[in-house]
């Protein structure tokens, strides 16, 4: 009887899968992917779509790279699993590679996801201060609009109220500060001046809370899930200085921006002179081929965990964190990014192709077009003067039109009702010029149809 019911459900396409956001994202409904190829995938009916958002901004190298699949298979045949309470070669090699890419000596703790990488960073920050004579330094500051993950600690740093409200109380000790969102800033002046005021607010907050209570500040170089916000590089530099001055660890969340997405290996590397205390990563680290998260920690911080014998060690374990096959995949992924000059490619095509989307600024419903590399956000408004966010139905229409024509794009912003009004495009970094032309033409004509 159960089997019959199941078959009936499958015929009606009523899967028993509980997938995130599904019901509230009608444009994604019933899309069952079966095969991927480059920047494209095919659904059950045989229709092809270009993935204009790289899955959830993670498919940096696109689908179907056999070398990556082979690296995973080889590793699984040699050593299928081994815990990182001991170690294995792929993890050792990958930690060394990450340190090289970060340009300074970092130790890396592996996890399975971006959320978990951030959780790890928070625990390291609290324990670090505890062991350096500042046990009262426990608070963690993030910015409004930020998304740092779904688990309770990472969710507490995720400062979009509606994502948290039904799960309160979240973890104590998380504070949120005004973001460098110059398009809707409360400050007058240029975008840079407004961003620097946002940095000043961080400093005010630290002073009012008492620097002796703040452990860490977590930020993405470019807020991605909260509406693709591209601050002035001076903001990142200023915030980094403020953290240093107040003995606050700077955690850079590179889960989205890492591994070439913004035209640098890591997004923060756009801001000269900035070297975060910790860098968290996932998604592009493996281009999504296998789950892997990582928390890279400056060696001088790591050293504090080695000092007084047993009591100082980091009491944190992840059974699958740094799975050998995932590390092998990450190594192959990075090798391809380097050998195929993917970063140079991103910089060239971001300018010669994707930048065409800036022409949309002449449309009455486009408030701002924001771009860094292959990360694009188009802030949609009812009109440019009031900046009222474009109505949800109109946004759904644009996304629906793109989908009809075979292009998947997304929208995000804030979870405040009506403020989810930024259209995002983040295609695989290996998209061909024809793929990018298709994305640009389809998106432009959908927006211009308004």
Minimum distance, C-beta of residue 311 to ligand PMP, in the bound complex (Å): 30
Asked if residue 253 binds ligand PMP (CB under 6 A), the reply is yes
| The binder of ligand PMP chosen from 140, 155, 282, 360 (CB under 6 A) | 282
Q: Give min distance, CB of 267 to ligand PMP, in A.
A: 10
Determine the Cα–Cα distance for residues 243 and 252; give it in Å rounded to an integer.
12
Does residue 256 interact with ligand PMP by CB under 6 A?
yes
**Residue 150 vs 247, nearer CB to ligand PMP:** 150
Q: Under the criterion CB under 6 A, does residue 262 sit at the interface with ligand PMP?
A: no
Chosen residue from 98, 141, 255, 422 binding ligand PMP by CB under 6 A: 255
- The residue nearest ligand PMP at its CB is 114
Report, in Å, the least distance between residue 25 CB and ligand PMP. 15
Rounded to a whole number of angstroms, the minimum distance from the CB of residue 278 to ligand PMP is 13
Residue closer to ligand PMP (CB basis): 197 or 322: 322
Taking the least distance from each CB to ligand PMP, the nearer of 365 and 428 is 428
CB of 291 to ligand PMP, least distance (A): 7
CB of 171 to ligand PMP, least distance (A): 16
| Residue selected from 28, 56, 76, 96 as contacting ligand PMP according to rule CB under 6 A | 56
* Beta carbon of residue 359, minimum distance to ligand PMP (angstroms, whole number): 28
- Using the minimum distance from each CB to ligand PMP, give the nearer residue, 220 or 379: 220
Does 224 engage in binding with ligand PMP (CB under 6 A)? yes
Q: How many of the chain's residues bind ligand PMP (CB under 6 A)? A: 16
3-state SS of the chain?
CHHHHHHHHHHCCCCCCCCCCHHHCHHHCCCCEEEEEECEEEECCCCEEEECCHHHHCCCCCECCHHHHHHHHHHHHHCCCCCCCCCCHHHHHHHHHHHHHHCCCEEEEEECCHHHHHHHHHHHHHHHHHHCCCCCCCEEEEECCCCCCCCHHHHHHCCCHHHHHHHCCCCCCEEEECCCCHHHCCCCCCHHHHHHHHHHHHHHHHHHHCHHHEEEEEECCCECCCCCECCCHHHHHHHHHHHHHCCCEEEEECCCCCCCCCCCCCHHHHCCCCCCCEEEECHHHCCCCCCCEEEEEEHHHHHHCCCCHHHHCCCCCCCCCCCHHHHHHHHHHHHHHHHCCHHHHHHHHHHHCHHHHHHHHHCCCEEEEEEECCEEEEEEECCCCCCCECCHHHHHHHHHHHHHCCEECEEECCCCCCCCCEEEECCCCCCCHHHHHHHHHHHHHHHHCC
Question: Of 58-117, which residues contact ligand PMP (CB under 6 A)?
Answer: 113-115
Q: Nearer to ligand PMP by C-beta: 395 or 426?
A: 426
- What is the spatial distance between Cα 416 and Cα 163, in angstroms, rounded to a whole number? 9
* 203 binds ligand PMP per the rule CB under 6 A: no
Per CB under 6 A, does 149 bind ligand PMP?
A: yes
Task: Mark the segment that binds ligand PMP (CB under 6 A) among 66-74, 219-227, 294-302, 370-378.
Answer: 219-227
**342 in contact with ligand PMP (CB under 6 A):** no
Minimum distance, C-beta of residue 156 to ligand PMP, in the bound complex (Å): 13
| Contact footprint for ligand PMP (CB under 6 A) | 56, 113-115, 118, 147-150, 220, 224-225, 253, 255-256, 282
């Amino acid at each position: 009887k159960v089997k019959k019911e199941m078959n009936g459900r499958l015929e009606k396409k009523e899967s028993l899968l509980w997938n995130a956001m599904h019901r509230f994202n009608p444009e994604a409904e019933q899309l069952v992917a079966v095969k991927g190829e480059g920047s494209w995938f095919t659904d059950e009916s045989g229709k092809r779509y270009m993935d204009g958002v790289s899955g959830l901004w993670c498919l940096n190298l696109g689908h179907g790279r056999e070398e990556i699949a082979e690296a995973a298979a080889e590793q699984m045949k040699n050593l299928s699993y081994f815990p990182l309470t001991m170690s294995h070669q792929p993890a050792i090699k990958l930690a060394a590679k990450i340190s090289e890419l970060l340009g300074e000596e970092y130790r890396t703790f592996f996890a399975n996801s971006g959320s978990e990488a951030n959780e790890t960073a928070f625990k390291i920050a609290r324990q670090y201060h505890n062991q350096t004579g500042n046990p009262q330094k426990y608070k963690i500051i993030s910015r409004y609009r930020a998304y740092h993950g779904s688990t309770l600690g990472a969710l507490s740093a995720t400062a979009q109220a509606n994502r948290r409200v039904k799960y309160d109380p979240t973890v104590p000790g998380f504070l949120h500060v005004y973001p460098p969102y110059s398009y809707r800033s409360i400050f007058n002046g240029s975008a840079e001046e407004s961003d620097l005021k946002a940095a000043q607010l961080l400093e005010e907050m630290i002073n009012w809370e008492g620097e002796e209570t703040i452990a860490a500040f977590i930020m993405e170089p470019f807020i991605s899930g909260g509406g693709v916000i591209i601050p002035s590089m001076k903001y990142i530099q200023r915030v980094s200085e403020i953290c240093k001055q107040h003995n606050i660890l700077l955690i850079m969340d590179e889960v989205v921006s890492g591994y070439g997405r913004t035209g640098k290996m890591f997004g923060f590397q756009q801001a000269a002179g900035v070297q975060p205390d910790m860098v968290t990563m996932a998604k592009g680290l493996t281009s999504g081929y296998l789950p892997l998260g990582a928390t890279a920690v400056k060696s001088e911080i790591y050293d504090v965990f080695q000092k007084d014998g047993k009591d100082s060690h980091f009491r944190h374990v992840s059974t699958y964190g740094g799975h050998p096959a995932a590390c092998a995949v990450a190594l192959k992924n990075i090798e391809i990014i380097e050998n195929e000059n993917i970063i140079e490619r991103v910089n060239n095509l971001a300018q010669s192709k994707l930048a065409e989307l800036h022409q949309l600024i002449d449309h009455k419903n486009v408030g701002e077009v924001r771009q860094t590399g292959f990360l694009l956000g188009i802030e949609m408004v009812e009109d440019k003067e009031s900046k009222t966010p474009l109505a949800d139905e109109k946004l759904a229409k644009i996304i629906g039109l793109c989908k009809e024509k075979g292009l998947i794009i997304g929208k995000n912003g804030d979870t405040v009702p009506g403020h989810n009004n930024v259209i995002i495009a983040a295609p695989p970094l290996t998209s061909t010029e024809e793929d990018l032309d298709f994305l640009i033409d389809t998106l432009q004509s959908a927006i211009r149809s308004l």
